[in-house]
Amino acid sequence: MIVVKGLHSYFKTEDGLVKAVDDITFELRPNEVLALVGESGCGKSVTALTVMGLLNRKKTVLKGEILFREKRLLELSPEAYRQIRGDKIGMIFQEPMSAFDPLYTIGYQMQEVLKAHTNLSVEDQKQRAVHWLKNIGIPEAEKRFGQYPHEMSGGMLQRVMIAMALMLQPEVLIADEPTTALDVTIQAQVLGLIRNLQKNEGTSVLFITHDLGVVAEIADRVHVMYAGKIVEKGTVTRLFHRPLHPYTIGLLTSRVVKGKKGKELPFIPGYVPRAFELPEGCRFHPRCAQKLPRCERESPPEFLIDHENRVACWLFERGESA
Interface residues toward ligand ADP, by CB under 6 A: 11, 13, 18, 20, 38, 40-46, 274-275
Residue placing its CB nearer to ligand ADP in the complex, 44 or 310: 44
Taking the complex as a whole, the smallest distance from the CB of residue 288 to ligand ADP amounts, in Å, to 19
In the complex, minimum distance from the CB of residue 287 to ligand ADP, in angstroms, rounded to a whole number: 16
Q: Is the CA virtual torsion 232, 234, 236, 238 positive or negative?
A: negative
User: With CB cut-offs between 5 and 8 Å by kind, which of ligand ADP, Mg ion, none does residue 18 bind?
Assistant: ligand ADP
- We find the least distance from the C-beta atom of residue 40 to ligand ADP, in angstroms, to be 4
33 binds, among Mg ion, ligand ADP, none (CB under 5 to 8 A by kind): none
Cβ closer to ligand ADP: 37 or 130?
Answer: 37
Q: How far apart are CA 153 and CA 134, in angstroms?
A: 17
Beta bridge partners of 11: 18, 60
> How many residues comprise the chain?
322
For 98-116, letters b (16+ CB in 10 Å) and e give ebbeeeebbbebbbebbee
For the bound state, the minimum distance from the C-beta of residue 42 to ligand ADP, rounded and expressed in Å, comes to 4
Give me the phi and psi of 253, to 5 degrees please. -70, -40
Q: State the minimum distance, in angstroms, from the CB of residue 214 to ligand ADP.
A: 15
Q: Give the helix ranges, DSSP H, for 11-55.
A: 44-52
Residue in 9, 10, 45, 85 binding Mg ion, rule: CB under 5 A: 45
> Closest CB to ligand ADP among 18 and 224?
18
Rounded least distance, CB 193 to ligand ADP, Å:
23
- Considering beta carbons, is residue 44 or 223 the nearer one to ligand ADP? 44
Taking the least distance from each CB to ligand ADP, the nearer of 17 and 249 is 17
The neighbour count for residue 121, using CB atoms within 10 Å, is 9
H-helix or E-strand containing 185? helix 184-201
The one of ligand ADP, Mg ion, none whose footprint includes residue 144, by CB under 5 to 8 A per kind, is none
For position 204 contacting Mg ion by CB under 5 A, the verdict is no
CA distance 85 to 177: 18
Of the candidates 219, 228, 322, 236, which has an alpha carbon nearest to the alpha carbon of residue 279? 228
For residues 283 and 228, is the Cβ–Cβ distance under 8 A? yes
Query: 20 vs 164, which CB is nearer to Mg ion?
Result: 20
Q: Which does 42 bind (CB under 5 to 8 A by kind): ligand ADP, Mg ion, none?
A: ligand ADP
Residue 96 burial (CB < 10 Å; 0-12/13-18/19+)? Answer: buried
Q: How far is CA 180 from the centre of its chain?
A: 12
Distance CA 11, CA 9 (A): 7
Give the residue with the Cβ less far from ligand ADP, 45 or 187. 45
Report the residue number whose CB is nearest to Mg ion. Answer: 45
Distance (Å, whole) CA 186 – CA 276: 37
Of 45-53, 229-237, 281-289, 293-301: span binding Mg ion (CB under 5 A): 45-53
Would you tell me which residues interact with Mg ion (CB under 5 A)? Answer: 44-45
